[in-house]
Amino acid sequence: VTGARLAVGAGTGRLARRPDGLLFVGGRPADERWGRVIDGYLDAEQADDAREVVTSAAVAAGFALEPFVMVAWGQAIELLVLGEIEVRTDLPSVPMLSGATSATWVEHRVARPPATAQLSAGTVPDLGTRLDAGVVAAGGFAVTLAIASPDVPGARPVPREPAPEPDGVDLEMTLRPPGQLTAAGGGLVRARRCGNGHANPPHAAQCRVCGDLIGPASAVETMAQPVLGHVVLPDGAAIPVDRTSVLGRKPDAGTARADPAARLVPLDVSADVSRTHLVIRAEGWAMTATDCGSRGRTVLRPTGAGEPEVLEPWVPHEIAVGDTLYLGGPTQLQVVAS
Ligand SMILES: [Zn+2]
């Protein structure tokens, strides 16, 4: 992330801004509880430590405290929400995130954000305001992030000018019920075609297949969920990423907390792999991998120079073509192009 512009909405909550993130606390946060937490959040040197200050306070309070949102932006964008706050974004994999139905906090991580991202919550912000550091009273926020092109060798530069958002697209993304995003398949997505007819996300400035620029005049259409890539299994078979797939030695959709109609992909591998180990989803224009609390864990080795990462159980993690997923040990899955 190369730049962040934060606007403040009026209210009785608190909005704290770090160079690498923000914390918004809704309701009427008492200074006795939140004063020290916000100081700790602002004073922490590393983003991980800042996050730890807030999550520790939430755990210590048994999650019974004012609703809050944390957004961290580094190479990835990370969202964490507790309680009745809705964060709305223009990120295809997470149009809305709310903690309202969870006893603890909910999280979402976007590993490869697009060229710009907008996130907001609470009361409508006054766009004339701007918070560069510190803490203010607030009832909401809107943050616009500018993101540098990924440092993948051979990656095409991201055009500086974001493509104009066609009318209505934002609205549909935001109003779509989140449940529909995790449906097993048959979902519809909004898309625009390049001059060669390839389907692309409505906000894309450049074709994901041929690299041609997509003119703003190109019409937005609704189409069946496109195949976003393939996952190559240990036996060499490839499954398309166009719906929800549950993978493991004896996969079960219920255990995977996935739609009952999900595709089940049994793997004939060693017991390092759990019976229900991993869920791969096509969520609009994003591919995600979710570890199902597997015993041996799942490690994502991203394409390019990125560090391997152990997936946090049950947190969807965006994946991309070129990535490798390790299930509990040597068993690996390759993410390849359509
Ligand atoms: Zn194309």
Collapse the DSSP code of 53 into the 3-class scheme (helix H, G, I; strand E, B; otherwise coil) and give the result.
Answer: helix
76: confidence class by pLDDT, cuts 50, 70, 90: confident
Q: If pLDDT is split at 50, 70 and 90, which confidence band does 95 have?
A: confident
Q: Is the pLDDT of residue 2 over 90?
A: no
What is the CA(218)–ligand 1 centre distance, in A? 12
Q: How far is the CA of 150 from the centre of ligand 1 (A)?
A: 20
Distance CA 222, CA 190 (A): 5
Gap from CA of 2 to ligand 1 centroid (Å): 28
| pLDDT given at position 172 | 27
Residue 140 predicted with pLDDT over 70: yes
Closest CA to 261 of 234, 281, 275: 281
> In whole angstroms, what separates CA 152 from the centre of its chain?
19
- 208 Cα to the center of ligand 1, angstroms: 7
For residue 114, name the pLDDT band (cuts at 50, 70, 90). Answer: confident
More confident residue, 75 or 135: 135
Burial 295-328 (b: 16+ CB within 10 A, else e): ebbbbbebbeebeeeebeeeebbbbbbebbbbbb
Residue 177 or 4, more confident: 4
Instruction: Give me the pLDDT at residue 291, please.
Output: 96
pLDDT at 170: 30
What percent of the chain has a predicted confidence (pLDDT) above 70? 88
> Which residues place a Cβ less than 5 A from the ion ligand 1?
194, 196, 198, 207, 209-210, 212
Q: How many angstroms does the Cα of residue 149 sit away from the middle of ligand 1?
A: 19
Distance 189 CA to ligand 1 centre (A): 17
- The answer, yes or no, to whether residue 165 has pLDDT greater than 50, is no
pLDDT at 333: 97
192 CA to centre of ligand 1 in angstroms: 10
Residue 338's pLDDT is 65
pLDDT of res. 104? 78
